Amino acid sequence: MLREQVRADLLAFSRRPETLFFTVFLPVIFLVLFEAIFGGQSVTLSGGQTVQQSTLQVPAFMTMGIISASFVALAITVVNRRETGTFKRVRGTPAPAWILIAGQVVTSLVIGLFMVLVMLVLGRLAYGVRVELSHLPWLIGGVLIGAAAFSCLGMMLAAITPSTEAAPPLANVVVLPLYFISGVFVPVDSLPTWLGNVASVLPVAPLVKVLSWPYVPTTSTPWTSLGLVAVWGAIGLIIASWRFRWTPRRG
């Protein structure tokens, strides 16, 4: 049943051009544009290591792709299905209600993994940015934990969003400022210290750090950042479980 639900959700996703664009194509477009503008520049990290801008941009926009697929798309879809009565109707059928939620979460994970594959291939073939095979397990683990955590946060946002109309702007209002202060659009080392400190305890910057490590290995593996992402996911899951509704908020 879960497999069929995921298949149906993926089919529905592929038939929504606007969601497909913002989830799959927009991070790729941003990567290509930023590479065209800043790709030839070098960046000196806080530890004194100098790397090409492209080496940081590939994992940064990989993070954006994962968040778009899990947090943004999931929040919008869940609110839409709740407010249009889809969840309510499914609860009246013999199918377990959790299948609908699990199917959407697994769909987000599948799309997130697809985005990672696209960024890996594009970064390697177009810009010469590669990951050592020995670091690939860390990248895969970080992607899975990050996608799961932001799926939980997406469910949390869906649980507190009042209407279908409010879901897209609310999701983007949450993530867009975080992209700017968390190392997606602008390197964290170029931000004011206080702003970098604020971003470091929010979920986006730690995920950027986790996914950047396989590309720019430092002296220590960012276990703390990975744990912080997982903690945010746990917080999202607790609040989503507490506030989640199967019926529309209106009517």
Single-letter amino acid, residue 178: L
Q: How many domains does the chain have?
A: 1
The sign one gets for the Cα dihedral 56, 149, 140, 97 is negative
Any domain includes 250: no
Please tell me the total number of residues recorded for the chain in this structure.
251
Any domain includes 213: yes
Any domain includes 74: yes
Give 246's DSSP letter: S
Any domain includes 106: yes
CB-count burial class (<10 Å; 0-12, 13-18, 19+) for 144: middle
Q: What is the pLDDT along the chain (251 residues), one digit of tens a residue?
A: 888 888 888 887 777 777 777 777 888 899 889 888 876 777 766 666 777 788 888 999 999 999 998 899 888 888 988 898 888 887 777 777 778 778 888 888 888 888 888 888 998 888 888 888 888 899 999 999 999 999 999 999 999 998 888 988 999 899 999 999 998 998 887 788 899 899 999 999 999 999 999 988 876 789 999 999 999 999 998 998 888 888 887 65
How far apart are alpha carbons 211 and 146 in whole angstroms? 9
Cβ distance 164 to 79 under 8 Å? Answer: yes
Domain that holds residue 147: 2-243
Any domain includes 249: no
Any domain includes 135: yes
Nearest to 100, CA basis, from 204, 2, 221, 167:
2
Cβ neighbors of 33 (< 8 A, separation 6 or more) are none
Any domain includes 215: yes
The sign one gets for the Cα dihedral 140, 144, 145, 149 is positive
How many other C-beta atoms lie within 10 A of the C-beta of residue 92? 8
Any domain includes 251: no
